[in-house]
């Protein structure tokens, strides 16, 4: 099965069951999918691993390599008179906007204590948890009574010069001395339930994949309006003035995310109904 047909089949079924069936030796038992009770922290951890994979790919292989061959990326990338694409944080925002259209009550945003946009500033309990994350660099899992949502924070670390340069040079940035490996913010996930089924987890992953797909398609749509658009196809910016097609981009993402995701989901498929809340609420065991 080709990457393209795999992706079409995956989304036509509306869940990742076929993803697991094609990629993993043992098939999932449907009854177990429906009944297995899983702490939401484990679902958050799988989602964040996938988010981190696509974020790294976008930052390094599209933005970083793209700038070397003349592609531009800007916070105002949607302006009609600007031939540019979204910066890494804005690619995540595009993904999150797509996720909001789903009936699955899963939310994602990138927050900080020094955000360029005040709307992304952590406050109250979130700020307390973020400070703990910055000190320990360990994921934070907690419940927010005001919203009724279970929340997970994962460190967003400065891994590439373009991210640092953007924040340090931006006139609205409250901090101008970011360095590589600093904790710049946190990818923050929210979900209403403390315990989920394996099927819930598969649906959440599908929602994330659709969000990534929509975010990249939005960029390709903008690229077609450029005065001098790059060639879209099988090649990447590292090869020259090129961009991967939607299917090439998604296939590369799935190949990177699948090993970890399938490993974790394979373990979760064996979770028993009995004593599902034995997992620590402070982290994933």
Calculate mean pLDDT across residues 33-47: 84
Token pair in block for residue 236: 């990447």
- pLDDT value at 143 more than 70: yes
Contacts of 8 (CB under 8 A, 6+ apart): none
What's the CA gap between 252 and 6, in Å, rounded?
A: 12
User: What confidence score (pLDDT) does residue 180 get?
Assistant: 79
Asked if residue 247 lies in contact with residue 7, where contact means CB atoms within 8 angstroms, the answer is yes
Measured CA to CA, the distance from residue 4 to residue 7 in angstroms comes to: 5
Place of tokens 């592609």: 71
Which residue in the block uniquely carries the two structure tokens 């979130």? 126
Over 60: is that where the pLDDT of 11 sits? Answer: no
% of the chain beyond a pLDDT of 90: 64
User: Quick one: pLDDT at residue 179?
Assistant: 83
Alpha-carbon dihedral 111, 97, 160, 123, rounded to 10 degrees: 0
What's the mean pLDDT in 36-47?
92
> How many other CB atoms are there within 10 angstroms of residue 183's CB atom?
18
**In this structure, are residues 162 and 73 in contact, taking their beta carbons and an 8 Å threshold?**
yes
What would the mean pLDDT of 218-239 be, rounded to a whole number?
98
Q: How confident is the model at residue 270 (pLDDT cuts 50, 70, 90)?
A: low
Computed over every residue of the chain, the mean pLDDT equals: 83
User: What pLDDT digit, counting tens, does each position of 173-216 carry?
Assistant: 767 777 877 888 899 999 999 999 999 999 999 999 999 999 99
Q: How far apart are CA 141 and CA 138, in angstroms?
A: 10
pLDDT band at 36 (very low <50, low <70, confident <90, very high): low
pLDDT surpassing 60 at residue 107: yes
| Structure token pair of residue 16 | 């990742």
User: Are 118 and 110 spatial neighbours (Cβ–Cβ below 8 Å)?
Assistant: no
pLDDT of amino acid 1: 41
164-169 long-range contacts (CB < 8 A, ≥24 apart) are 166/75, 166/87, 167/114, 167/116
188 has which bridge partners? 109, 153
């Amino acid at each position: 099965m080709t990457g393209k047909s795999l992706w079409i089949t995956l989304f036509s079924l509306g869940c990742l069951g076929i993803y697991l069936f094609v990629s993993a030796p043992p098939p999932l038992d449907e009854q177990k999918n429906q009944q297995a009770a899983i702490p939401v922290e484990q679902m958050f951890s799988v989602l964040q691993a996938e988010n981190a994979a696509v974020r790294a790919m976008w930052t390094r292989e599209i933005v970083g390599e793209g700038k070397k061959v003349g592609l531009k990326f800007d916070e105002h990338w949607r302006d009609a008179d600007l031939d540019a694409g979204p910066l890494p944080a804005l690619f995540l925002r595009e993904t999150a906007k797509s996720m909001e259209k789903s009936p699955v009550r899963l939310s994602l945003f990138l927050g900080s204590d020094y955000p360029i946009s005040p709307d992304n500033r952590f406050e109250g309990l979130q700020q307390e948890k973020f400070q703990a994350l910055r000190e320990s660099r360990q994921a934070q899992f907690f419940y927010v009574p005001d919203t009724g949502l279970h929340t997970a924070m994962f460190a967003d670390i400065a891994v590439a010069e373009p991210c640092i340069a953007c924040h340090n040079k931006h006139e609205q940035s409250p901090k101008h001395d970011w360095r590589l490996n600093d904790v710049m913010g946190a990818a923050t996930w929210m979900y209403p339930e403390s315990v989920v089924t394996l099927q819930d987890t598969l649906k959440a992953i599908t929602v994330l994949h659709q969000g990534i797909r929509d975010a990249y398609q939005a960029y390709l749509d903008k690229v077609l309006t450029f005065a001098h658009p790059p060639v879209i196809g099988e090649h990447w910016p590292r090869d020259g003035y090129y961009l991967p097609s939607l299917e090439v981009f998604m296939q590369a993402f799935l190949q990177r995310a699948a090993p970890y995701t399938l490993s974790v989901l394979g373990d979760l498929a064996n979770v028993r109904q009995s004593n599902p809340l034995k997992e620590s609420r402070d982290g994933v065991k």
